[in-house]
Structure 1
Amino acid sequence: MAEADTQQSTTQCKALTEDGERCSRPARDDDFCYQHDESDPTVSDSQAVEEEQEQEEQTESQSQELGSADMTAEEKTDPDEVDAEVETDHDEIAGVLAVRRRVQSTAGELIGREFDAVSEIAPTDDGWRAVVEVVERRAVPDTQDIIGRYEIELDDDATVHGYRRLDRYRRGDTAAFE
């Protein structure tokens, strides 16, 4: 059945519409769609072949314009073919999650402002570095809120050792981070 579906989707109905254009629906085994049959006017076989070649050429040129020809082998890999049992260091993930929970629970209290988000967590030589965003001033509309970005330093046990403000921006001003 899947083979028939594939064949239907690649073959176009050869009937002509009322406008004189070729029908755009996929054809069944008899070269007509569900709406047309042998009694309808059709395109000639040579016209059908020419149109299919034109469509293939258009598809190729569109894919080249999109840069699919420049894709690496890794980018072309079918996700279903990838081995799902890739070894992951669960200790590292658990460490990042522990730091994230610690930062989320303490950032607002530590900085004295309303916690908004964790935007970065990275390991350092001495432990962890997290960048959080806090609301320094509420405004209406909320795109005018003043957001402060703070860096928080933590040791390997996720104990906070210090913080500093990196910058401030309006919530709606994203150009600096793009």
Structure 2
Amino acid sequence: MADADTQSTTQCQALTEDGERCSRPAEDDGFCHQHDESDPTVSDSQTQPADDEQEQRTQDADETAESEPKSRDLGVDMTAEEKTDPDAVDADVETDHDEIAGVLAVRRTVESTASELIGREFDAVSEIAPTDDGWRAIVEVVERRAVPDTQDIIGRYEIELDDGATVHGYRRLDRYRRGDTGAFE
């Protein structure tokens, strides 16, 4: 019962379109049923009300700090130009924004259609991977509710999509009780 009380008092970490913090209660991942980690979030420092003493200490520290901006020491020597101009830094990691956009498109498609496609309550997307023909997503749906919810029967389904995120088929991989994690360890 204490878990339910804790969960209902935890507030969603997402920001609304107005820039305000979402007022809905958070689920296990810290977000409500309408938000996820891809939404802008509120940092812990923004959620904690600062008292006058803390603000005064921060102002005093700012006034006594050196005029040169500080950066974390990441073990890399940077020139003055690189410290001030992000475009002057050579990034070792190349990010393929098209592939990220593809994964997000597949995720949105799967989240919006899994429940209707499978005929059960959508629970989560547990995997998205590219294939030769498009994409493969593994989703979890609630096949039977139970009390306590650790006894829910969860079905894991594989959904096949093409490069345009159009669903071409699905199949059930397995079923398990929500509380049984031994099979996946």
Assess, with a 3 A threshold, how the Cα gap between structure 1 residues 79 and 124 changes in structure 2: closer, same or farther. farther
Assess, with a 3 A threshold, how the Cα gap between structure 1 residues 79 and 100 changes in structure 2: closer, same or farther. farther
Question: What percent identity do the matched residue pairs reach?
Answer: 87
Alignment partner of 1:134 out of 134, 137, 141: 141
Spell out, residue by residue over 1:19-62, the C-alpha distance to the aligned partner (whole angstroms, 9 max, x if none): xxxxxxxxxxxxxxxxxxxxxxxxxxxxxxxxxxxxxxxxxxxx
CA distance in 2, matches of 1:84, 1:151: 39
Assess, with a 3 A threshold, how the Cα gap between structure 1 residues 144 and 109 changes in structure 2: closer, same or farther. same
Assess, with a 3 A threshold, how the Cα gap between structure 1 residues 84 and 113 changes in structure 2: closer, same or farther. farther
Structure 2 partner of 1:95: 102
Gaps of 5+ in 2: 1-71, 77-88
Assess, with a 3 A threshold, how the Cα gap between structure 1 residues 84 and 130 changes in structure 2: closer, same or farther. farther
Question: Who wins on radius of gyration, i.e. which is larger?
Answer: 1
CA apart distance, 1:81 = 3.7
| Superposition pairs of residues 1-178 of structure 1, within 5 angstroms | 80-81=74-75, 85=91, 86-178=93-185
CA apart distance, 1:141 = 0.2
CA distance in 2, matches of 1:79, 1:157: 43
CA distance in 2, matches of 1:134, 1:97: 19
TM-score scaled to structure 1, two decimals?
Answer: 0.54
CA apart distance, 1:80 = 2.6
Q: Which amino acid aligns with 2:126?
A: S
Gaps of 5+ in 1: 1-77
